[in-house]
Amino acid sequence: MASTPPISSPGSDFMEEFYAECDDHLVEIRRGLLRLEEQLGELSLDREALEKIFRSFHSLKGICGMAGLQEAEKLAHRAEDYLRALTRQEAALTEGGLDILNLVTQKLEEIIIQRRQGRPSPDISALLEQVAGLNSAFRDGTSETDVPAAGTHYPAQASQQIRAARQQGKELWLCEFRPSPELDQRGINLNSARAQLQGLGEILHAAPRVEKGGELVFAFVLASEAGPAGHHPPQAEGIDFKPLAIAEEVQASPDAGPSTVTATGASTFVAPSHFVRVDLARLDDLMRIMGEMVVHRARLDEALGRVSDRLPSADTRKLHEITHGFSRDLRHLRDGLMRVRMVPIGEIFERLPFVVRDLSRESGKKIRLNVKGQSTELDKYLVERLKDPLLHLVRNAVCHGIEESEERSAKGKPEEGTITLRASTVGETVMIEVADDGRGIDPVEVAASARRNGLQVPDDLNPAELLDLLCAPGLSTRDEADLGAGRGIGMAAVKGAVLDLGGEMELDSRPDQGTTFRLRLPLTLAVADALIISAGGQRFAVPQGAVQEITTATEAAINRLEKNEIVKYRNGVLPLVRLAAVFGLGAESRKEFPVLVIGTGLNAVGILADRVLGQREIVVRPVNDPLLKVPGISGATELGDGQAVLILDSASLAQGARARQRQATAKSL
Amino acid sequence: MSQTNNQTDSYILFELAGTTYGVRSQEVKHMELVEQITPVPNAPRFVEGVVFSRGQVIPAVNLRVRFGFPPQAHTTRSRLIVVETGERVVGLIVDAAREFRNLPAETVQPPNESIGSLSGKYLRGIAIVNERLILLLDIKEALTFAGSEVFDEEYPAATAAASTAS
């Protein structure tokens, strides 16, 4: 379609101003669209960004109309409609919608440029269709007015049928059926209502809806042949009939706010409503409560043990069954909670293409980002901790890895550089790769830079050493300067994060071919439930799994047999291990001690502590140095204050005690 | 390990009981203040305990005790020098540390025979710079302890427990 004659010829002052203003609006739109791109996966969009884009399209529409650029005006108008629906949350932003907005913006730029150069406008009919498609999906009717389509919306197919029916002169009714026990008793239910309606006409649309008070309503759109003079609503028991008109569509469900349930088989533009966004802190809370429940269960067991002598065995059996079931359910609950914490790594991967787009545009490089394995699931905590490191690695690949297009062509490489993000699980480990096909890391350069900073560097650097250099934060006495290839201090943080998570990092780099960073992380942190106890003034963690029950022993009840101490337990005796004594720590003098029973039956051993402080979920850190290979300790953890807490190896403690017990018994026989 | 005369190694220097020692800077990962050491029962006496360092649990070795000096309470100048040798990462507790110095090979002499055989094992060499004596530490040796002969004297509680177990 040709433009109508312009108000002034191209190049005039007025037009220059016009072009400048268009530019402003287009930049504003571009910026806003980028912002929206970042938020695509999330359930709520930046309202400010939406408003800005909306206003920009609105203004563009106006000035383009004035300057006689009709095509631009039309496009801007359509985009404005879509944006309006977005700001009112009548539609949700999808990747497709965003793409179309980007295309519209591009097309608008094109139109204006062509105009400026005095060339004919490009064809917009195809794009207009696409935007129209966007808009009709959430709004019924082809009205170009600003009537807000608040409330019910119908999927594209239904809208078309409704329009068609109207055109055919049929009558359209909104029929509502509210199920209730009374109606049900009279044999009037959803199926019978539907059957009745089918007898009256054609059902064009059906959807359930939840009213403000929580009431469930089934709404049908019925098309019936126009009756003779007078439009009387049809009758059917239990169903309310209202004429369906555009204005009434608006009023039909005035209270239908966010609680509206849209039709099944609805358009693809409705945000997935079967996901819940959960604050990680709440999940942590739940885990903590779980932990407390585990302790309570242990105490229940113990109390049960105490009274079981006085109860008939049938009752004790029953009670044990119940606590077993309880304990099993607790375990399932805990496993379920852990699963809830698993999220696909796609969460972080999603944001990165836009970062790459930003950066490559800024640097003028051509870069493509490939993402693989987005559905690989990790503990949410891991994912949170990996956000910054991955961002840093990707940024480095763009800024320092990939060369400019000319350099790449000169090397015989495709002009467009490729960065690949890949995640996969191998057994209990997750592997994440950030690879680029750029210039690689030059070990000579890195070594030279390191030496300049006073580091001693061997002439031959293997990949591990190279990585160390790249990640070396330097000592506090030295400048924390860039260690070569521009990778800088951030790499130290990347390595730090990976180490903190119990993982490792690998570097594979080839000059002119590219660089790959490989991160290997444990899939879930080695996490265990543990009882926190104190003995001899020091805290220790005892893995829950090994503890059968927690009982108590009074000093008076403890008997000595040779060098061993035992206490009466159930129908036998329990050899005791006094932690404070075994560890050479000063024991507290107490009348009563908690005893953690390890093992069952004849193998049971009791570990005597000073106090049980609580139960916690701990992250197990290995303790591997030969200097730390001491009996009874299997690792360490940290309870939130940075202080290391040793983890007991209850099995070996128990074994030692049992051995002593056997000897003593053998001797006494 | 032999050194050619042209080589210059860089060292981190630290103070211990009035003497200056040096460790090769390439063996040093980082330095921290001495905080929150958790004692490890039945560990050798010179192992003051464990600390968390960059997500890892490492032993904190009290070098004073290791070298037979009278132990001293930690001061604000005390430092934990985290070193790496082979696969091992260990923290060394020293009285003070801040200097970083290049020591040309000419300044370094092999450890003197007359220095006691036990301590002598821990030294790679002695550097004399401006009339200042710097003892260069062999970390690997310093962190290796022979098993049993040190056992009885160094961790009595475990010895007692072990003997009742056998």
> Which of B51, B61, B143 is closest, CB to CB, to A644?
B51
Phi, psi of A547 (to 5 degrees): -90, 120
Q: Three-class SS string for A226-284?
A: CCCCCCCCCCCCCEEEEECCHHHHHHHCCCCCCCCCCCCCCCCCCCCCCCCCCCHHHHH
How far is the C-alpha of A73 from the C-alpha of A20, rounded, in Å? Answer: 16
Give the number of A-B residue pairs with CB atoms closer than 8 Å.
Answer: 120
Give the pLDDT of residue A355: 80
Cβ–Cβ gap B55/A502 under 8 Å: yes
If one compares A442 and A6, the residue with the highest pLDDT of the two is A442
Highest mean pLDDT among A5-14, A139-148, A222-231: A222-231
The minimal CB distance from A630 to the residues B36, B58, B158 is found for B158
Closest CB from B36, B41, B164 relative to A584: B41
Q: Which pTM does this prediction carry? A: 0.45
Contact residues, chain A, for B33 at CB < 8 Å:
none
- pLDDT for B64 equals 92
pLDDT tens, residue by residue, A466-508: 777 777 654 222 233 333 233 444 787 788 778 767 678 888 9
Q: How far is A621 from chain B (nearest CA, A)?
A: 7
Using a pLDDT cut of 90, give the percent of chain A over it: 9
Q: Do A632 and B55 touch (CB under 8 A)?
A: no
pLDDT reported for residue A480? 31
Do B55 and A584 lie within an 8 Å CB cutoff?
Answer: no
What value, to the nearest 5°, has the Cα angle with vertex B96 and ends B92 and B101?
Answer: 90
Question: What percentage of chain A reaches a pLDDT higher than 70?
Answer: 79
Best CA proximity match to A653, nearest among A529, A527, A535: A535
Q: Which of A225-229, A328-332, A541-545, A566-570 has the lowest mean pLDDT?
A: A225-229
Residues whose CB is less than 8 angstroms from the CB of residue A412 and which lie 6 or more positions away in sequence, other chains included: none
Q: For A607-617, how does the pLDDT look when each residue is reduced to its tens digit (9 = 90+)?
A: 999 999 988 77
Cβ–Cβ gap A501/B61 under 8 Å: no
Angle at A36 between CA A32 and CA A38, to 5 degrees: 120
Q: Given this model, what pLDDT does residue B158 score?
A: 46
Lowest mean pLDDT among A148-152, A162-166, A217-221: A148-152
Closest-approach residue (CA) in chain B for A493: B54
B161 near A CB under 8 A: yes
- B89 and chain A: CB distance < 8 Å anywhere? yes
Please tell me which of A143-157, A419-433, A458-472, B2-16 the model is most confident about, judged by mean pLDDT: A419-433
Residues in chain B with CB shorter than 8 Å from the CB of A627 are 43-44, 47, 59, 61, 90, 143, 145
Q: Which of residues 638-657 of A touch B (CB under 8 A)?
A: 638, 642-646, 656
Report how far residue A115's alpha carbon sits from residue A123's, in angstroms, rounded to the nearest whole number.
13
How do residues A346-384 score in pLDDT, each as one tens digit? Answer: 878 877 887 888 888 888 888 989 999 888 888 877 887
Beta carbons of A128 and A78 less than 8 angstroms apart: yes
List, in sequence order, every residue forming a beta bridge with A71; answer none if it has no partner: none
Q: Does B88 touch chain A (CB under 8 A)?
A: yes
Q: Give A662's pLDDT tier (boundaries 50, 70, 90).
A: low
What residue of B is the nearest CA neighbor of A656? B165
Q: Inter-chain contact B100–A656, Cβ cutoff 8 Å?
A: no
C-alpha angle A431-A434-A438 in degrees, rounded to nearest 5 = 150
**Digit-coded pLDDT (tens) for A587-606:** 778 888 999 998 777 778 89
Task: Identify all chain B residues contacting A660, using CB atoms and an 8 Å cutoff.
Answer: 164-165
pLDDT at A488: 43
**Contact across the interface for B44 and A476, Cβ inside 8 Å:** no
Instruction: Tell whether B114 is within 8 A of chain A (Cβ).
Output: no
Average of pLDDT values for A278-301?
72
Report which listed range, A314-318, A452-456, A636-640, is most confident.
A314-318
A295, A574, A600, A601, B79 from A570: Cα distances, Å: 21, 9, 11, 9, 52
Give the contacts of A645 (CB within 8 A, at least 6 positions apart).
A532, A539, A540, A541, A618, A636, A637, A638, A639, B38
pLDDT for the residue numbered A296 = 72
> A290-309, pLDDT tens digit by residue?
766 766 776 677 778 778 88
Q: In what order do the strands lie in the sheet with A514-522?
A: A367-372, A417-426, A429-436, A514-522, A504-510
Amino acid A138: pLDDT: 56
Would you place residue A145 in the very low, low, confident or very high pLDDT band (cuts 50, 70, 90)?
very low
Helix A280-307 to helix A313-340 angle, to the nearest 10 degrees? Answer: 170
Q: What is the DSSP letter of A201?
A: S
The predicted structure's pLDDT at residue A647: 92
Candidates B77, B85, B141, B164: best to mutate against A (most CBs of A within 10 A) is B164
Instruction: State the burial class of residue A213 (Cβ atoms within 10 Å of its Cβ: 0-12, 13-18, 19+).
Output: exposed
Task: List beta partners, residue A169.
Answer: none
CA-angle at A250, arms to A246 and A254, nearest 5° = 160
Query: Are B54 and A500 a contacting pair at CB < 8 A?
Result: yes
Amino acid code (one letter) for A189: N
The predicted structure's pLDDT at residue A517: 94
Per-residue pLDDT at A562: 73
CA of A542 vs chain B CAs: smallest distance (Å): 15
Q: Is the CB of A496 inside 8 Å of chain B's CB atoms? A: yes
Which one of B98, B155, B164 has the shortest CB-CB distance to A477? B98
For residue A440, give the nearest of A411, A400, A408 by alpha carbon: A400
The region that residue A322 occupies, defined by phi over 0 for left and psi between -120 and 50 for alpha, beta otherwise, is alpha
Q: Is A502 on the interface with B (CB under 8 A)?
A: yes
Can you name the residues that pair with A637 across neighbouring β-strands?
A645
Nearest CA in chain B to A469: B26
Ramachandran assignment for A485, one of left (phi > 0), alpha (psi -120 to 50 degrees), beta (any other): left
Rounded to the nearest 10 degrees, the angle between the axes of helix A95-116 and helix A47-66 is: 30
Q: Which of A622, A638, A617 is nearest to A544 (CA)?
A: A617
Q: Nearest C-alpha of chain B: how many angstroms from A499?
A: 6
Per-residue pLDDT at A394 exceeds 50: yes
Name the closest residue on chain A to residue B103, using Cα atoms: A456
Q: Are B166 and A563 contacting, i.e. CB atoms less than 8 angstroms apart?
A: no
Cα distances from A242 to residues A42, A171, A176, A338, A529, in angstroms, run 38, 11, 8, 50, 61
Dihedral of alpha carbons A54, A58, A60, A64, sign: positive
- Phi/psi for B7 (5° steps) reads -80, 145
Using pLDDT thresholds of 50, 70 and 90, give the confidence band for residue A262.
very low
Lowest mean pLDDT among A31-35, A41-45, A94-98, A458-462: A41-45
Nearest CB neighbour to A625, from listed B26, B52, B59: B59
* Closest CA–CA distance from residue B141 to any residue of chain A (Å): 13
**Residues A536, A610 contacting (CB under 8 angstroms):** yes
Q: From the CA of A342, how many Å to the nearest CA of chain B?
A: 22
- Give the ipTM of the model, two decimals please: 0.82
CB A498 within 8 A of CB A411: no
Q: Which two tokens stand for residue B76?
A: 């604000």
Q: Is B22 on the interface with A (CB under 8 A)?
A: no
If you average pLDDT over every residue of chain A, what do you get? 76
Which of B4, B24, B50, B144 would you mutate first to test chain A, the one with the most A CBs within 10 A? Answer: B50
Q: Does B39 touch chain A if contact means CB atoms closer than 8 Å?
A: yes
State whether residue A632 sits within 8 Å of chain B by CB. yes
- pLDDT at position B58, please? 93
Residue of B30, B59, B161 lying closest to A627 (CB–CB) = B59
Return the minimum-mean-pLDDT range out of A188-197, A209-218, A510-519: A209-218
Q: How far is B118 from chain A (nearest CA, A)?
A: 18
Residue B12's H or E segment, with its range, is strand B8-16
Q: What is the biggest distance separating any 2 CA atoms in chain A, rounded to whole angstroms?
A: 118
Low pLDDT (below 50) residues in chain B: 1-5, 147-166
pLDDT at A436: 94
Q: Summarize the confidence of residues A412-417 as an average pLDDT.
A: 91
d(CA B107, CA B105): 5
Residues of A within 8 A of B58 (CB-CB) are 625
Rg (CA), chain A: 36
Average pLDDT in the A35-62 region? 79
**Cβ-proximal residues to A257 (8 Å cutoff; 6+ apart), any chain:** A212
Query: In the 8-state DSSP scheme, what is residue A404?
Result: P
If you search the block for the tokens 């056992």, which residue do you land on?
Answer: B151
Most confident among A27-36, A219-228, A320-329, B9-18 (mean pLDDT): B9-18
The C-alpha atoms of residue A126 and residue A132 are separated, in whole angstroms, by: 10
pLDDT digits (tens, 9 = 90+) for A320-333: 888 888 878 887 78
Q: Which residues of B touch A626 (CB under 8 A)?
A: 88
Average pLDDT over residues A551-564: 84
**CA closest to B161 among chain A residues:** A582
